[in-house]
């Protein structure tokens, strides 16, 4: 049992997640039907007004449509960020652009948002964090 669990988790430990997978995981745990307290929709927790500005589709629970919508929104924000700062956003800044774009653009990120940004960056860079120490260890030495 322990070895099966370890073998299931090793790919995640070794490579980290791409940004969109990490975003979906952090926002809703990949729950396509999640509706946030402020009415955010889809696995990415998009405000309905932003969704409607990108597509007429109301298929909020379709992960493909949700990803397309989120990518369009993020592309606009990333372009604006790069025009201001003359460089691409880090993983930390990427999440700030999603979660609190006003804060990301001004460079004044609150402690609450910063903690979320750190969690996101950790998901994206799993292999360089504390879990990297699991590489090469046996299941018996971990459990």
Residue 45 CB partners (closer than 8 Å, separation 6+): 27, 28, 34, 36
Tens-digit pLDDT profile for residues 19-75: 999 999 999 999 999 999 999 999 999 999 999 999 999 999 999 999 999 999 999
Give 36 or 14, the one with higher predicted confidence. Answer: 36
DSSP state letter for 126: G
- Predicted model pTM: 0.77
**DSSP per-residue letters across 60-94:** TT-HHHHHHHHHHHHHHHHHHHHHHHSSPPPHHHH
As a whole number of angstroms, the distance between CA 55 and CA 7 comes to 40
Report phi then psi at 46, rounded to 5. Answer: -90, 135
Fold of 17-124: Lysozyme (1.10.530)
Q: What is the pLDDT of residue 17?
A: 82
Residue ranges per domain, the chain? Answer: 1-16+128-143, 17-124
Predicted confidence band of residue 126 (pLDDT cuts 50, 70, 90): confident
């Amino acid at each position: 049992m322990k070895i099966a669990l370890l073998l299931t988790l090793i790919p995640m430990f070794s490579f980290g997640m791409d940004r969109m997978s990490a975003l979906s995981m952090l926002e809703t745990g990949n729950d396509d039907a999640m509706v946030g307290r402020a009415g955010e929709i889809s696995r990415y927790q998009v405000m309905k007004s932003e969704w409607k500005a990108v597509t007429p589709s109301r298929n909020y629970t379709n992960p493909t449509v949700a990803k397309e919508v989120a990518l369009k929104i993020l592309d606009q924000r990333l372009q604006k960020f790069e025009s201001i700062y003359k460089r691409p956003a880090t993983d930390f800044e990427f999440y700030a652009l999603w979660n609190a774009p006003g804060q990301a653009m001004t460079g004044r990120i609150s402690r609450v948002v910063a903690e979320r940004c750190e969690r996101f960056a950790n998901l994206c860079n799993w292999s360089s964090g504390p879990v990297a120490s699991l590489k090469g260890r046996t299941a018996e030495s971990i459990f």
